[in-house]
Homo-oligomer: A and B are copies of this chain.
Amino acid sequence: MARIDLNSDLGESFGAWTIGDDAGVLERVTSANVACGFHAGDPAGILRTCGLASARGVVIGAHPGYRDLAGFGRRFIDCDPDDLCAEIVYQIGALQALAGAAGASVRYVKPHGALYHAIIAHEGQAGAVVRAVETIDPSFPIVVPPSSAIGRIARDRGIRTVVEAFADRGYRSDGTLVPRSDPRAVLTPDAAIAQAVGLATTGLAVSVDGIEVEVSPETICVHGDTPAAVRLAGGIRAELELAGVEIAEFVGGTAAPATRDAAPAQGSAVGGRG
């Protein structure tokens, strides 16, 4: 039986400013990537989100980012790896304390935004993230894109990586995402649901060029920053269940991605059947 985790970025409000319907999303996902205060998230709001997640049994992960409230962590910052490592340790530790205050605990790490994208290729920053996780708890899995520096470095150090796919983003035939500047970057709701089901049952996405791409995700990211996004998350969950996919957290489970035997080739194009 196929099995998949659904994750979403949460706790990203800040003071008087709110983003996202955390309570609504938490009804639909199994893993909550909770902001840690550097790109978003004030402590009281983070604590509330942790409390909501804990009450629903949703697993909490740390979602650290660059120190950039004005840019919401979406802008690359060329920071020194040692500084970055300490900043990530700081953020995870802060979230651990707030999760603890909510009766829960942090169980994995997913880097945010521009940091997530940078460490696909930036060896120095990728290494910094891995060292930070090692320092906090080497048993924490890291959620990573397929075929990334962060994934390779983490696995080399014995840290579990969890490959992530995106339901509503178009893939290129090399397994990378279509950039947001391209009109094909974001899929329609129907296409996103179909892609999610395909990813969860076969491990494959069909690229915008019609090529089958092996992603083999253990988790699929769904968004919750708009009412439409929350509805889409619900639709994805419903169709996955109809397709017989078990929706369960990747943490603590016995990971069984659809095509785990292909793991070394993650993200590579494996065919042209489209």
Interface on A for B, CB 8 Å cutoff? 13-19, 37, 40, 42-44, 46-47, 67-72, 74-80, 82-83, 85-87, 89-98, 100-101, 114, 135-136
B74 lies within 8 A of A75 (CB): no
Interface pair B69/A89, CB less than 8 Å apart: no
Docked Cα-Cα span, A19 to B72, in Å, equals: 15
- Residue of B15, B68, B86, B96 near A72 (CB, 8 A) is B15
B14 touches A70 (CB 8 A): yes
Q: Of all chain B residues, which has the CB nearest A83?
A: B44
- Complex interface: chain B residues within 8 A of A93 (CB): 93-98, 100
Interfacial chain B residues near A71, Cβ < 8 Å: 15, 77, 79, 83
Known: A83-B44, A89-B97, A97-B90. A77 touches B77 (CB 8 A): yes
Query: Which of B14, B46, B91 is the one whose CB lies under 8 Å from A69?
Result: B14
CB within 8 Å for A86 and B17 given contacts A77-B77, A78-B75? no
- Apart from the given pairs A14-B17, A93-B96, 13 other A-B contacts in the complex at a CB distance below 8 Å: A15-B69, A16-B72, A17-B19, A37-B90, A42-B70, A42-B83, A44-B85, A67-B68, A71-B83, A78-B114, A90-B98, A93-B95, A97-B135
Q: Are A136 and B70 in contact (CB under 8 A)?
A: no
Q: Are B86 and A44 in contact (CB under 8 A)?
A: yes
Q: State whether A90 touches B17 (Cβ < 8 A).
A: no
Sample 23 A-B pairs with CB under 8 A, ordered by A number.
Answer: A14-B70, A16-B19, A17-B18, A42-B70, A43-B86, A43-B89, A44-B83, A46-B86, A67-B68, A71-B77, A75-B78, A75-B79, A75-B80, A76-B78, A78-B114, A86-B98, A89-B98, A90-B97, A91-B94, A93-B93, A93-B100, A94-B94, A94-B97
Q: How far is the CA of A13 from the CA of B87 in the complex (A)?
A: 15
Contact A47 B89 (CB under 8 A): yes
Residues of B within 8 A of A74 (CB): 16
Closest chain B residue, CB of each to CB of A101: B135
With contacts A16-B74, A69-B15, A78-B75 taken as known, whether A135 is within 8 angstroms of B44 at the C-beta atoms is: no
Report how far A69 CA is from B17 CA in the complex, Å. 10
Alpha-carbon separation in the docked complex, A18 to B67 (Å): 19
Closest residue of B by beta carbon distance from A118: B78
Contact yes or no, B77 A101, CB < 8 A: no
Residues of B near A17 (CB, < 8 A) are 13-14, 17-19, 72
**B97 and A15 contact, CB distance less than 8 A:** no
